[in-house]
Chain A
Amino acid sequence: DGGITQSPKYLFRKEGQNVTLSCEQNLNHDAMYWYRQDPGQGLRLIYYSQIVNDFQKGDIAEGYSVSREKKESFPLTVTSAQKNPTAFYLCASSPSVGNTIYFGEGSWLTVV
């Protein structure tokens, strides 16, 4: 089936550790995105990528890093510099920036 796969679904990490969230899509979409959603809050854009080997900061990029070495993959690293990393992270993709955005199932990150 075509879609966006995020892994893991639930992740626990100790404070001070970096953690990488995986996102893979087989929709042949050029654009990919990472959002953060806190309980009862809307989505906030962390990073987006229009094409391979290119990515741009969103509204809350501090403490996060990404790479886009392959069209299908857009991993997000939550670094120890991120002050409040515990959240629900959503990966998304669209045929290109400006088209309809489709979301993965999300990953819950808890930092203790």
Chain B
Amino acid sequence: GDSVTQMEGPVTLSEEAFLTINCTYTATGYPSLFWYVQYPGEGLQLLLKATKADDKGSNKGFEATYRKETTSFHLEKGSVQVSDSAVYFCALSPLDTGRRALTFGSGTRLQVQP
């Protein structure tokens, strides 16, 4: 079945450092891909998405490119801030009407130190 694999955390960075959080997926076909962010004590918020191969999603300085050849959707940010500290989830959409819901990775905690 479909699955999403994320790098384990926590990822600890200093402010203004470059961020990469790896995400790879397994699916039959070409699903839509998403990154969600969860701040402490809150629900998940959509950060960015890409719906087809080679699409780049971007928001708030974060970017991710849909790479079908490597089945990846890595999250990047050029300069992180303390306020980016959160848990980040990669997810993919079901590809047929029989599927149920988004499939989520296990999440990666990011800690940014001043």
Do the two shown chains form a genuine complex with each other? no
